[in-house]
Chains A and B, each alone.
Chain A
Amino acid sequence: DVKVTQSSRYLVKRTGEKVFLECVQDMDHENMFWYRQDPGLGLRLIYFSYDVKMKEKGDIPEGYSVSREKKERFSLILESASTNQTSMYLCASSSGQGGSYTFGSGTRLTVV
């Protein structure tokens, strides 16, 4: 089974801090994604990547950046955390357009 591992289950950060959320997948998937989940809004796509060193903006990229230096790792970066970035963050990977997505367990980030 594909495993997608997110480095932290819970994080508490202060406003203005630089925050790194790490995601690693172990099945050689080309595609990786970062979503945030908020009540009543479902999951919204922040950034995605179809290949190493490649990135594309999703629907809500403002305030975020990403890094994909290796195929198995996709990092989400909050350059200067703000309280409105308090949310659940979910990483996913897939093998292609029609392939099913596998999600990590999520990181619940609180910015105080």
Chain B
Amino acid sequence: AQKVTQAQTEISVVEKEDVTLDCVYETRDTTYYLFWYKQPPSGELVFLIRRNSFDEQNEISGRYSWNFQKSTSSFNFTITASQVVDSAVYFCALNQGGKLIFGQGTELSVKP
């Protein structure tokens, strides 16, 4: 069965700290897609990144970076030099067979 686990329910950091959000997934298929979404207090889910199962290159976008490791079925998300505006709930998701399966979410609080 497909499953996404975000073991960290809540994380609190002080501004400028680096923070890593963990995501572990389970799937039997060889072809799948992984996503990260951000949900700020306004409620709308904002797409951050998509990665397919054949592309294990790490990705960096500004202060955001993602580490995809098939060997450990993990797709972790790091925010460097966090800012108050990064405060949100972050969801990791697995797309297999056209359905998006979400983890439970990690609530990140960045304090000034």
* Whole-angstrom CA separation of A58 from B102 in the bound complex: 13
Q: Does A88 contact B (CB under 8 A)?
A: yes
Q: Does A43 contact B (CB under 8 A)?
A: yes
Considering only residues 59-112 of chain B, those with a C-beta below 8 Å from chain A are 91, 95, 97-105
* Whole-angstrom CA separation of A9 from B104 in the bound complex: 23
For B103, give the chain A residue with the smallest CB separation: A42
* Whole-angstrom CA separation of A50 from B98 in the bound complex: 9
Query: Which of A41, A45, A50, A106 has a CB less than 8 Å from the CB of B100?
Result: A45
For A98, give the chain B residue with the smallest CB separation: B33
Contacts of A33 in B (CB 8 A): 99-100
* Chain A interface bracket (under 10, 10 to 19, 20 to 34, 35 or more): 20 to 34
Query: Which of A31, A96, A101, A103 has a CB less than 8 Å from the CB of B44?
Result: A103
Count of A-B residue pairs with CB < 8 Å: 55
Interface size (B, Cβ < 8 Å)?
23
B98 and A43 contact, CB distance less than 8 A:
no
Residue-wise, chain A 16-54 has the 8 Å CB interface mask toward B (1 for contact) of 000000000000000101010000111111001010000
Q: Does A84 contact B (CB under 8 A)?
A: no
Most buried by B among A48, A98, A108: A98
Q: Does A105 contact B (CB under 8 A)?
A: yes
Contacts of A42 in B (CB 8 A): 6, 91, 102-105
A43 and B43 contact, CB distance less than 8 A:
no
For B6, give the chain A residue with the smallest CB separation: A42
Residue-wise, chain A 69-112 has the 8 Å CB interface mask toward B (1 for contact) of 00000000000000000001010101011101111111010000
Query: Which of A31, A90, A96, A98 has a CB less than 8 Å from the CB of B45?
Result: A90
For B98, give the chain A residue with the smallest CB separation: A97
Measured CB to CB, the residues of A under 8 A from B are 31, 33, 35, 40-45, 48, 50, 58, 88, 90, 92, 94, 96-98, 100-106, 108
Measured CB to CB, the residues of B under 8 A from A are 6, 9, 33, 35, 37, 42-45, 47, 50, 52, 91, 95, 97-105
